[in-house]
């Protein structure tokens, strides 16, 4: 029963990190609706720039925006200058240049020193920029500065709610849970006044998460249930997603309270709704494809009808004139001849393409075999070098150190300083030899096997910006070269997560099933375009693909905007 409880809690921590991040991003996204009200809607040029940005024509919009600001400065139109720079700062922000965005906000502040509404907005956006750069202390200072204008700004409850919600996230990151709870409650109250039930429910889910971190499980359960009651059984996408979050949160809370019957009940609700949401998405995709197919079919039918109508007209004219019928017949024969000739050329070209495709496949297979052979050769060399370093060089250094130690015991009186220095140099060399040996072939892998090596890799790769976890099921010891190859594949995928995903959570699952080693690697990062990756043919993924093919396995990569999931299945070598 304790093992089951631990599994629930582990899953919750991953979920809560994701959920709190989504909540903050949601508020930032909605703040863009508020930002549009700060721009001068009466200015046609500014409206044109906003339309260009909405269409994704950023370069053209930026060119026009800079020209607008320069013209406004020349005419001393301070109001338009401010509106233009506010938009410019937001454009840089949306394109990931947070430092440039904040520089523009600093320029604006002296010009709006008496406009408290705009000051509150600017400090809120500055805080968001710092938060996106993980400078949480600077973000906290700016959010608190934005809150200080509350008494001077009437209404704007929507913006105030977002400030408190983001400040709550900062306190949570700083592990100041009491202040996080206080600010979440304020943000939830604002959303309640505004009638934004879905956003209020999201905040309550985050509030319950903080209670959970404090082990106040009854308070956490109460907060999660309030979130569920707010969205009820609404059918909008946001309501369904929030209800789904509430289900799994309630399950974790009941699990922490040892009420496993209720925990499983809400866990089943979560999985059922999650499967339903996935099925709805699939239906939408199918409906879109079907719609495109129907449109294409109708266009084709219209073209066919048009062709039939033309033929009927030609035939009606031909019935009255025998000569035209004869000419038409001759013309038709000529067209058939030309068409057959064209078809013959197409058949030749098709055969050439098939032949070329086969040649390219042979080249690709040969390159893969060469790459695998190179990797295998490198693996054997690394094992030999690691063995020599560990068994021979390291042993020799240890023996040398022992001789020096024995010599020191025999010396009477003043001992030469060179002996101590030599011992230190030998010790340092031994440490470097051990480190180099471990880098060549993981000592954890050789001693304890693949499961422990992956767990060690996750622990060493985790830091303040990303947490990696491993989960192994029915994993024993396998043939050594097989373990090393699989570890190298997993290591390459982990490096891709660290370098490219911008994720804050990742999980590696290993399971032995029916003679197959199944590996699932997934993260909550930004995903990628699989077609562009294949076009670039990066050496990392090429190595992974070639190694798995050589092991007679398969790999499936599924990138989305919410993260990337990679599935690998390989026959086990014992």
What's the pLDDT score for residue 417? Answer: 75
* Domain boundary, last residue among 113, 131, 162: 113
What's the pLDDT score for residue 538? Answer: 45
CATH number at residue 512: 3.30.565.10
Whole-number average pLDDT of the chain: 78
Q: Is 559 inside a domain boundary?
A: yes
pTM summary value: 0.45
Average pLDDT estimate for 6-14: 32
What would the DSSP string read from start to end of 305-367? HHHHHHHHHHHHHHHH-HHHHHHHHHHHHHHHHHHHHHHHHHHHHHHHHHHHHHHHHHHHHHH
Highest mean pLDDT among 14-23, 143-152, 409-418, 433-442: 143-152
Residue 242 near residue 201 (C-beta atoms within 8 A): yes
Confidence band of 307 (pLDDT split at 50, 70, 90): confident
Of 146, 112, 170, 140, whose CA–CA distance to 31 is shortest?
Answer: 146
What's the pLDDT score for residue 561? Answer: 81
| Domain around 100 | 39-113
User: Residue length, the chain?
Assistant: 574
* Model pLDDT for residues 471-515, shown as the tens digit of each residue: 999 888 898 889 888 988 998 889 888 888 889 999 999 999 988
Confidence band of 37 (pLDDT split at 50, 70, 90): very low
Q: Is 287 inside a domain boundary?
A: no
Letter string b/e over residues 146-182, b meaning 16 or more CB atoms within 10 A of that residue's CB = bbebeeebeebebbbbbbbbbbbbbbbbeebbebbbe
Q: Is 89 inside a domain boundary?
A: yes
Which has more confidence, 410 or 51? Answer: 51
The yes-or-no verdict on residue 84 having pLDDT over 80 is yes
What's the pLDDT score for residue 537? Answer: 44
Which has more confidence, 90 or 296? Answer: 90
Residue 494 neighbours by CB distance under 10 Å: 20
Residue 245 neighbours by CB distance under 10 Å: 27
Which has more confidence, 215 or 6? Answer: 215
Q: CA-to-CA distance for 154 and 295, rounded, in angstroms? A: 52
Q: CA-to-CA distance for 424 and 428, rounded, in angstroms? A: 6
DSSP-assigned letter for residue 390: I
The CA-to-CA distance between both ends of the chain, in Å, stands at: 33
What's the pLDDT score for residue 9? Answer: 33
The yes-or-no verdict on residue 16 having pLDDT over 60 is no
Task: Count the domains in the chain.
Answer: 2
145: left (phi over 0), alpha (psi -120 to 50) or beta: alpha
* Domain boundary, last residue among 84, 113, 142: 113
User: In whole angstroms, how large is the CA radius of gyration of the chain?
Assistant: 33
Q: How far is CA 524 from CA 400, 500, 507, 564, in A?
A: 51, 12, 9, 7
Q: How far is CA 106 from CA 88, 142, 145, in A?
A: 13, 12, 14
Q: How far is CA 176 from CA 169, 173, 201, 210, in A?
A: 10, 8, 22, 10
Q: Is 253 inside a domain boundary?
A: no
What's the pLDDT score for residue 157? Answer: 86
Average pLDDT estimate for 148-162: 88
What's the pLDDT score for residue 10? Answer: 31
Q: Is 255 inside a domain boundary?
A: no
Q: Is 337 inside a domain boundary?
A: no
CATH number at residue 99: 1.25.40
What's the pLDDT score for residue 12? Answer: 34
Helix (H, G, I), strand (E, B) or coil at 11: helix
Residue the block writes with tokens 């076009």: 535
Q: Which two tokens stand for residue 277?
A: 């949401």
Residue 541 near residue 529 (C-beta atoms within 8 A): no
The yes-or-no verdict on residue 323 having pLDDT over 90 is no
Residue 17 near residue 504 (C-beta atoms within 8 A): yes
Average pLDDT estimate for 457-484: 90
Q: Which of 31-35, 55-59, 122-126, 469-473 has the lowest mean pLDDT?
A: 31-35
Q: Which residues make beta-bridge pairs with 571?
A: 516
What's the pLDDT score for residue 6? Answer: 29
The yes-or-no verdict on residue 371 having pLDDT over 60 is no
pLDDT above 90: percentage of residues in the chain: 24
* Domain boundary, last residue among 113, 142, 162: 113
* Model pLDDT for residues 286-298, shown as the tens digit of each residue: 455 455 556 656 7
Residue 228 near residue 247 (C-beta atoms within 8 A): yes
Residue the block writes with tokens 């040969």: 366
Q: Is 517 inside a domain boundary?
A: yes
Q: In what order do the strands lie in the sheet with 516-523?
A: 467-473, 505-513, 516-523, 563-571, 554-560
Q: CA-to-CA distance for 451 and 476, rounded, in angstroms? A: 8
Letter string b/e over residues 195-207, b meaning 16 or more CB atoms within 10 A of that residue's CB = ebbbbbbbbbbbb
Q: CA-to-CA distance for 34 and 443, rounded, in angstroms? A: 56
Q: Which of 330-334, 446-450, 515-519 has the lowest mean pLDDT?
A: 330-334
Confidence band of 356 (pLDDT split at 50, 70, 90): low
Which has more confidence, 287 or 82? Answer: 82
Average pLDDT estimate for 12-28: 34
Q: Is 282 inside a domain boundary?
A: no
Q: Which of 108-112, 248-252, 292-296, 422-426 has the lowest mean pLDDT?
A: 292-296
Average pLDDT estimate for 126-139: 92
Residues sharing a CB contact under 8 Å with residue 552, sequence separation 6 or more, in sequence order: 570, 571
196: left (phi over 0), alpha (psi -120 to 50) or beta: beta
Of 574, 357, 394, 337, whose CA–CA distance to 477 is shortest?
Answer: 574
Residue 263 near residue 251 (C-beta atoms within 8 A): yes
């Amino acid at each position: 029963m304790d093992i089951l409880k631990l599994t629930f809690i582990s899953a919750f921590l991953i979920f809560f990190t994701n959920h709190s991040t989504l909540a903050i991003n949601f508020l930032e996204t909605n703040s863009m609706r508020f930002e549009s009200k700060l721009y001068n809607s009466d200015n046609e040029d500014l409206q044109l720039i906003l339309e260009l940005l909405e269409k994704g024509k950023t370069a053209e919009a930026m060119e026009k925006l800079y020209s607008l600001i320069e013209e406004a400065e020349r005419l001393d139109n301070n109001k338009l200058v401010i509106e233009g720079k506010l938009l410019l700062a937001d454009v840089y922000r949306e394109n990931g240049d947070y430092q440039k965005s904040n520089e523009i906000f600093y320029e604006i502040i002296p010009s709006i020193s008496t406009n408290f509404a705009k000051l509150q907005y600017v400090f809120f956006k500055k805080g968001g920029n710092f938060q996106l750069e993980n400078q949480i202390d600077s973000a906290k200072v700016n959010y608190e500065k934005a809150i200080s204008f509350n008494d001077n700004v009437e209404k704007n409850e929507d913006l105030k709610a977002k400030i408190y919600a983001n400040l709550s996230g900062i306190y949570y990151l700083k592990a100041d849970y009491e202040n996080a709870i206080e600010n979440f409650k304020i943000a939830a109250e604002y959303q309640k006044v505004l009638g934004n039930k879905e956003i209020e429910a999201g905040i309550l889910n985050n509030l319950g998460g903080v209670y959970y971190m404090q082990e106040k499980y009854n308070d956490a359960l109460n907060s999660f249930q309030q979130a569920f009651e707010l969205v009820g059984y609404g059918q909008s996408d946001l309501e369904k997603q929030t209800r789904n979050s509430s289900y799994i949160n309630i399950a974790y809370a009941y699990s922490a309270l040892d009420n496993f019957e209720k925990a499983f009940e809400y866990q089943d609700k979560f999985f059922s709704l999650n499967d339903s949401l996935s099925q709805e998405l699939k239906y939408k995709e199918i409906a879109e494809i079907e719609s495109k197919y129907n449109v294409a079919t109708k266009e084709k039918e219209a073209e066919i009808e048009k062709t039939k109508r033309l033929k009927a007209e030609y035939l009606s004219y031909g019935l009255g004139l025998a000569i035209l019928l004869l000419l038409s017949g001759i013309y038709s024969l000529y067209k058939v001849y030309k068409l057959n000739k064209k078809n013959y050329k197409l058949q030749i070209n098709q055969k050439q393409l098939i032949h070329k495709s086969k040649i390219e496949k042979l080249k690709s297979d040969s390159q893969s075999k060469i790459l695998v052979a190179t990797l295998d050769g490198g693996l054997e060399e690394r094992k030999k070098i690691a063995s020599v370093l560990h068994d021979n060089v390291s042993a020799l250094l240890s023996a040398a150190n022992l001789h020096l130690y024995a010599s020191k015991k025999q010396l009477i009186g003043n001992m030469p300083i060179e002996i101590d220095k030599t011992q230190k140099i030998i010790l340092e060399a031994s440490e470097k030899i051990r480190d180099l040996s471990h880098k060549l072939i993981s000592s954890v892998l050789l001693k304890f096997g693949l499961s422990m090596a992956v767990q060690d890799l996750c622990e060493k790769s985790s830091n303040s910006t990303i947490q990696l976890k491993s989960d192994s099921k029915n994993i024993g010891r396998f043939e050594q070269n097989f373990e090393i190859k699989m570890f190298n594949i997993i290591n390459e995928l982990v490096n891709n997560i660290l370098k490219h995903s911008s994720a804050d959570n990742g999980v590696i699952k290993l399971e032995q099933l029916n003679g197959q080693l199944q590996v699932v690697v997934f993260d909550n990062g930004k995903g990628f375009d699989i077609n562009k990756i294949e076009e670039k043919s990066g050496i990392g993924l090429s190595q992974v693909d070639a190694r798995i093919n050589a092991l007679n396995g398969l790999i499936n990569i599924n990138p989305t905007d919410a993260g990337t999931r990679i599935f690998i299945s390989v026959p086990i070598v014992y």
